Amino acid sequence: MREIVVFSGSAHTELAEQICSDLGVPLSPVEIHRFSNDCLQVQLQANCRQRDVYIVQPLVPPTQEHLMELLLMIDAARGASAQQITAVIPHYAYARSDKKDASRISIGGRLVADMLTTAGANRVLTMALHAPQVHGFFSVPVDHLTAIGVLADHFRGRDLSDTVVVSPDLGNAKTATQFARLLGVPVAAGSKQRMADDRVVIDAIVGDVAGKRAIVLDDEIATGGSIIELLDRLKDRGCTSAAVACTHGLFAGPAVERLRSHPSITEVISTDTVPRPDGFPELEITSVAGLFAEAIKRIHDGESVSSLFDGVDPTHAPPQPKLPF
C-alpha cells in the first residue's frame, strides 16, 4: 500500500504534529520562502511520488496568506507526482460566504473550492462547515467531520439536571439538537438578525430557559457579538448561568475581553481546529487531532469515514458514550 506523507503550512503546526503523532508517522518538512516582491515559494522536503499526501492547513488569520500557502503546497504535491492529495482544512473560513444575499458580491466559499480543486486537491477533509450546502461547492469528495461528540464528552459525567443546550440562531438548531440528545437535555435557540459583521440582534428565545443553566453551542466564535447578545437575552429570560462551547474558537478583536468579563459565563471550551488565542488562559481546549488522524487512516485504508459518527447523530444510531475509535 502507498505510504502516507503529511505536510503542514504555517497556520497551525501544533495540530499537524498531534495528528501525525496519533497516526504514527512523521510530519514532513516544508520550506516556505518569501521573495523581495512579497511572492511566496513553497518546497516540500519529502518524496511525494505515488504517495498518499495530506496537507494540514486551517484557514485562519492571516487567512489569505494561509490560503495561498495551501494552494502552493497542493500544486507542489501534484507536480511531484503524488498519487492522491487531500487538503486537510480543519477550519474552512470561506464557508460563511455561501450565498448571494446582496447585489454584486462573490460567493467566496464556491470560489475557494474551485481554487483548491484547480490546484490539484483530489479530496478535502474538513470540520463543522458553517453551512452544509458548502459541501456541495466541491467537485471532489469531501469528508465533513463534526466535533459535537468530542465536545459532549467534556460535559458527560456532570450533573446536567436543569441544563439546556442553546443555539445562538435557528440555523444551528439542528446541530444543537443533536448535541442536546447526546447529553439527554432539552434544547432552545435564539432568533437572530445580523446587522453587521460584528453586530447582531436576538429578538426572541425559542424554548424554556427560565431557572436553567445553559450550554451555548456554536460552530464558530469570531468577535463574540452573537454570544454576548444571546447571554444577555438568556439572563432576561431567567437563565442562571452559561457554559460556552464552540468548534472554531477564533476569538478575534474584542472577543476575549467580552467573554472573560461577562458575569453569566462559567466556562468557555473550544477545539484545537485553530490555534489558541493569546491572553485567554481560562479557555479550555479539547483536541480533535484524534478525529482527524482516524479519518485520515480510514481514507488511506479505503474504509468508511461516516461510520466514525454513527453514535453522534441520533437519526442514524443511538447516542454512544464514546466515539468508535
Q: Which domains does the chain have, with CATH numbers?
A: 4-145+289-309 (3.40.50.2020), 148-286 (3.40.50.2020)
pLDDT at 198 over 70: no
The average pLDDT across 308-312 equals: 78
Query: What is the predicted pLDDT for the residue at 120?
Result: 98
Confidence of residue 194 (pLDDT cuts 50, 70, 90): low
More confidently predicted of 226 and 84? 84
- Extract the C-alpha cell encoding 320: 454512544
Query: What is the predicted pLDDT for the residue at 77?
Result: 98
Query: What is the predicted pLDDT for the residue at 308?
Result: 85
pTM, whole model, 2 decimals?
0.92
More confidently predicted of 203 and 321? 203
Query: What is the predicted pLDDT for the residue at 297?
Result: 96
Q: Which residues are catalytic?
A: 192
Query: What is the predicted pLDDT for the residue at 130?
Result: 87
Please give, one letter per residue, the 3-state secondary structure of the chain: CCCEEEEECCCCHHHHHHHHHHHCCCECCEEEEECCCCCEEEEECCCCECCEEEEECCCCCCHHHHHHHHHHHHHHHHHCCECEEEEEECCCHHHHCCCCCCCCCCCHHHHHHHHHHHHCCCEEEEECCCCHHHHHHCCCCEEEECCHHHHHHHHCCCCCCCEEEEECCHHHHHHHHHHHHHHCCCEEEEEEEEEECCEEEEEEEECCCCCCEEEEEEEEECCCHHHHHHHHHHHHCCCCEEEEEEEEECCCCCHHHHHHHCCCEEEEEEECCCCCCCCCCCCEEECCHHHHHHHHHHHHHCCCCHHHHCCCCCCCCCCCCCCCC
More confidently predicted of 101 and 134? 134
The average pLDDT across 93-119 equals: 93
| Proportion of the chain above pLDDT 90, given as a percent | 81
Mean pLDDT in the chain?
92
pLDDT at 313 over 70: no
Query: What is the predicted pLDDT for the residue at 126?
Result: 97
The average pLDDT across 46-72 equals: 97
The average pLDDT across 164-190 equals: 92
CB 183 within 8 A of CB 196: no
The tally of CA atoms less than 13 A away on the side-chain side of residue 1 is: 8
The average pLDDT across 13-24 equals: 98
